[in-house]
Structures are given as C-alpha cells and as structure tokens.
Structure 1
Amino acid sequence: MSLKQIIKTGISGLIFDSKQPRKILLIKREQPPYHNQWSFPGGRLEFGELIADGIVRETKEETGYLVNLISKNYNIHEVIRQDSHYLIFSASCIIQSYVKEHEQIHSQFFYLDKYLGKDENEKFNVSEIKDEEAIPNFHEILDKMLKQDFSLDPLENKNIK
C-alpha cells in the first residue's frame, strides 16, 4: 500500500457569528488545490486529536476566533481527487471570542438570509458565491449541514453574548 492509498482525515467548521447568528464565517484558501476559493475554516486532523478539538484548533489558527461546537452531529463528506482521498468531518460552531495570534488568511462574514429564503441583506450573501468561487460542492455541503442539525431559533434563544 502506498501513501497515496491512505484515506486522510480533514475537519472543518460551519462558523456562526454569535452576535448575528444569520451570518457565517468563510475563508479564502491560500494553498492549492483550491487556491483563492471560499471555504469553511478547517484542515487536517492531527494524529490522536479529537474531531471537535481539531475543528476548534483549525478555526483559531486560520481566523483567530475561538469557537464552541453547537453539536457533535458531524457531517461527513468525501473528497476524492486523482492523488488523494479525504473524509472530512464538519460541525456547526458558534464564535465565543477573538484572539490576535493567527495566520493571516482572508476571512469574511456572509449572510445566510437569501439562502434561507429571506431577502433582508443584499451585500455579502452566501447565496451569491458562484460555484467556481468556492470549494467543490460548497452549496451542497452547506445545505446538508443546515438541514442536519441546525436551526436558527435555538441558537438565537441561547442568549449568546
């Protein structure tokens, strides 16, 4: 078995703004193969690391935000390319605080309003991201995660400060 035949484990977070729960945080990837495309914060799971801890670590490293998982109902999707095969575990998270020490990766908040059938915010709506501007299956993954274990009502009722 060669190294190319090993299935690798990735992690990512659907990061919600604690002050405006109808907004999510996305990053622009800096490395190939998805250079300069919008993505959820994430990366590789380290050996011996719990999935939840990896999501928290990668989010902090890439964005400077400390997050808590909303639930541990992980969304799992596969990425199979010619040279690699990944299983990526994703979870919904909420921002708790910000720290200054992090990589200088471009990140931006996007509204979910149009995506959720509302038309309240025209600027920086996640539904406006074109397929070629994001990682493969971005909208499909987002839709699955929103349907799987997330409702805006419970988040708004948590009285998050």
Structure 2
Amino acid sequence: MSLKQIIKTGISGLIFDSKQPRKILLIKREQPPYHNQWSFPGGRLEFGELIANGIKREVKEETGYLVDLIGNNYNINEVIRQDSHYLIFSASCIIQSYTKEHEQIHSQFFYLDKYLGKDANEKFNISEIKDEESIPNFHQILQKMLKQDFKIEPLENKNFQ
C-alpha cells in the first residue's frame, strides 16, 4: 500500500455566534487545495485524538475561538481527488470565549437569514457566497448540517449559488 492509498481524516466545525445564533463563522483557506475559498474552520485529525477534541483544537488554532460542540452528531463528507481520499467529520459548535493566540487566517461571520426563511437585508449573508468562492459542496453540506442538528428543512427551490 502506498501513501496515496491511505484515507486521511479531516475535521471541521460549523461555528455559531453565541450572541447572535443566526450568524456562523467561516474562514478563507490559505493553502491549496481550495486556496482563497470560504470554508468551515478545520484541518486534520491528529493520531490518537478524539474527533471532538480535534475540532475544538483546529477552531482555536485557526480563529482564536474556544467552542463547545452542540449535540453528538457528526456530518461525514467524503472527498476523493486524484491524489487523496479524505473523510471529513464536521460538527456544529457554539462559541464560548476568545483567545488572541491563533493563526492569522481571514475569518468572517455570515448571516444565515435566507436559510432560515427570513429576509436577507444584512451584509455578509451566506447565501451570497457563490460555488466558485467556496469549498466544493459548501451549500449542500451546510443545509445537511442545519437539517441534521436543528431540523431546519431546506426552503423550496433554494438556489443560493
């Protein structure tokens, strides 16, 4: 078995603002693949690390936010490219506090208003993120997580891209 045949484990968090829960935190990826595209904060799971601990660690490293997971559900996405195969475990999280000790990655809060069936008058509405500006299947992953964790059904005929 070559190194290319190993399935790698990724982790990420859907991060909700505890003061304004209709907002989530995204980062702009600094490294390939998907350089300069919006993504959920995350990275690779370290050997021997529990998934929940890995998500908390990566979110803190990338954003400075200390988070708690909401519930026990993990959304699993599979990414297969020519040179790699990843299983990415994502969990919904809520911000507990902030520390200044983190990487200087560009992050931004986005409103979920259109996903929640509300008017989207706020600047930085997540529905404005186009497919080419985000990781593959970004909107589908987000909708799946909102439905799984919060029973939010996708609105009819949503076309946010």
With the length of structure 1 as denominator, give the TM-score of the two structures: 0.92
SS in 1 for 2:104: coil
- For residues 47-126 of structure 1, the aligned pairs below 5 Å read 47-126=47-126
Q: Displacement of 1:122 after TM fit?
A: 3.1
CA distance in 1, matches of 2:150, 2:50: 21
Match of 2:156 in 1: none
Gaps of 5+ in 1: 153-161
* Of 111-120 and 63-72, the range deviating more from structure 2: 111-120
CA distance in 2, matches of 1:18, 1:113: 16
SS in 1 for 2:47: coil
Gaps of 5+ in 2: 153-161
CA distance in 2, matches of 1:143, 1:113: 13
- Contact 1:114–1:121 under 8 Å retained in 2: no
In the alignment, structure 1 residue 36 sits paired with structure 2 residue 36:
yes
CA RMSD of superposed structures (Å): 1.0
Match of 1:27 in 2: 27
In the alignment, structure 1 residue 143 sits paired with structure 2 residue 118:
no
- Contact 1:111–1:121 under 8 Å retained in 2: no
With the length of structure 2 as denominator, give the TM-score of the two structures: 0.92
Instruction: Spell out, residue by residue over 1:99-132, the C-alpha distance to the aligned partner (whole angstroms, 9 max, x if none).
Output: 0000000000000001221114331000100000
Matched pairs, number = 152
| Identity in percent | 90
Q: Displacement of 1:72 after TM fit?
A: 1.6
In the alignment, structure 1 residue 18 sits paired with structure 2 residue 18:
yes
SS in 1 for 2:113: coil
- Contact 1:10–1:44 under 8 Å retained in 2: yes
* Of 111-120 and 132-141, the range deviating more from structure 2: 111-120
SS in 1 for 2:92: strand
